[in-house]
Structure 1
Amino acid sequence: MRLATFTVAFLILASPAAAESIAGTASVIDGDTLEVQGKRIRLHGIDAPESAQLCQDAAGKDWRCGQRAANALSDRIARRPVTCEVKDTDRYARSVAACSAGGESLNAWMVANGWAMAYRQYSKDYVDAEATARAARAGIWAGTFQQPWDWRKDKREGKQQPANQSAAAPAATAVGCKIKGNISAKGEHIYHVPGGRFYEQTQINERDGERWFCSEQDAATAGWRKSAQ
């Protein structure tokens, strides 16, 4: 009986993978990936724009959000040592971890400052942080963008779009950008808000320069006027 108890206890203690800790100087690979002590680490529960990904600002202009996200993470870490608590291993053999620098969660900071999204498919730990960023229109939330997981899917399927076209219009609706920026037959730039008389019948065609907006302020700043009805 004692032997069996000892064996069970030993098996529990001999499973360090779930509680593995990796610490040291970090190199930033992209907005949600680090390398520490020669080990590639994927930040748990978050998904940042890919390195080559473009987002659109409030005026519809493309900007390198993936590159900016990586720079933001690098600047936040600076020269501080990083500690990562490993939670899992992904299909690419990377450690999936919650990482911190100076006691501050890097995962939460990236999401709360609009440089990454809460990766709900795997965790809901950073949903509140995402809500904070969205309310403040921080980082990628200042304009429109495509969710990183959709961007990767489109890339795998060969659905590439020209840099001067917004890849975010379909995704924008999914993340709450529901104001329709329509160009009339006379060339007028008019935006329609949900509940407006012509909202439901208005269709957005990106190829003609039409677009989605996340707020009326964004639409007005971009030079669009509100529909009279």
Structure 2
Amino acid sequence: MMRSGRLFRDGAAAFALLAILVLLALKMNNRQELVQTGDFYAIDGDTLSINGERLRLKGIDAPEYRQRCRRGGADWACGEEARKALATIVKNGKPECRGQERDRYGRLLVTCVVGDSDVNAAMVRSGMALSYGGYAAEERTARQAKAGVWAGDFERPGDYRREERMQQPVANDPMAGVIDYIRQLVGWNAQ
């Protein structure tokens, strides 16, 4: 009898622990949706700011502000143009941005609408942003129309950021200084 009582107690404890874990998981997934409205400032083509908080448009990736693209054989400031496009969209209405998750930089990941128009989708459709897991149909439309960055050659924003990071010397890395000195000696200056 003692053995069956122990089995029952252990089974009940395991079930209770499992129930607590399920409740905790549900609570963690039940984050409150945050809604932002008001006067937004476009930092770049996929990031807005309001009251000191940065909001990242979910599902898209726009050229970085300093990024340049090529169109018709000439450079153009595609990053600046992407920022202007987003600024125009949010200034021409009363945007409402909603999100629950944050990215690794602490920015709230949001989907924004102005009236019935999805701002994130509009940026991709205009060719001023790429789909980043959310707007593949809009990207196909922009490609076919050769809109925005699709009118010429461009570097994907993620690749551009990666190259920018690689070109910046690592702080507090004594070897970075030595390697730069050797590069200068042998004429391998990467500009």
TM-score (normalizing by structure 2): 0.70
Aligned match of 1:30: 44
**1:12 positional shift:** 4.6
Q: Is the 8 A contact 1:25 1:80 kept in 2?
A: no
The one-letter code of the counterpart of 1:106 is V
Q: Does 2:15 correspond to 1:21?
A: no
Distance 2:28 2:165 in 1: 42
* Secondary structure of the structure 2 residue equivalent to 1:40: strand
**RMSD, matched Cα:** 2.3
Please, which runs of 5 or more residues in structure 1 have no aligned partner? 160-229
Amino acid at match of 1:131: R
- Runs of 4+ aligned structure 1 residues displaced above 3 Å come to 11-17
1:47 equivalenced with 2:56 (yes/no) = no
Q: Which runs of 5 or more structure 2 residues have no equivalent in the other structure?
A: 1-18, 169-191
In structure 1, the partner of 2:149 is 140
Cα displacement (A) at 1:64: 0.2
Distance 2:30 2:136 in 1: 30
- CA 1:36/1:79 → structure 2, altered by over 3 Å: closer, same or farther? farther
How do residues 168-183 of structure 1 correspond to structure 2 at under 5 angstroms?
A: none
Question: CA shift at 1:15, angstroms?
Answer: 4.0
Question: 2:172 maps to which residue?
Answer: none
Contact 2:38–2:94 (CA under 8 A) maintained in structure 1: yes
**Per-residue CA shift, 1:34-61, capped at 9, x if unaligned?**
012432100001000000000000x221
Q: What amino acid maps onto 2:48 in structure 1?
A: L
Matched, 1:106 2:116: no
Q: Residue type matched to 2:78 in 1?
A: C
Distance 2:139 2:110 in 1: 18
The structure with the greater share of residues assigned to helix is 2
Give the % identical residues: 41
What TM-score does the superposition give when structure 1 sets the normalisation length?
0.59
Q: Deviations over 1:143-192 (max 9, x none)?
A: 00000000000111119xxxxxxxxxxxxxxxxxxxxxxxxxxxxxxxxx
Aligned residues: 147
The structure that has the greater radius of gyration is: 2
Which residue is equivalent to 2:135?
Answer: 126
Distance 1:95 1:77 in 2: 17
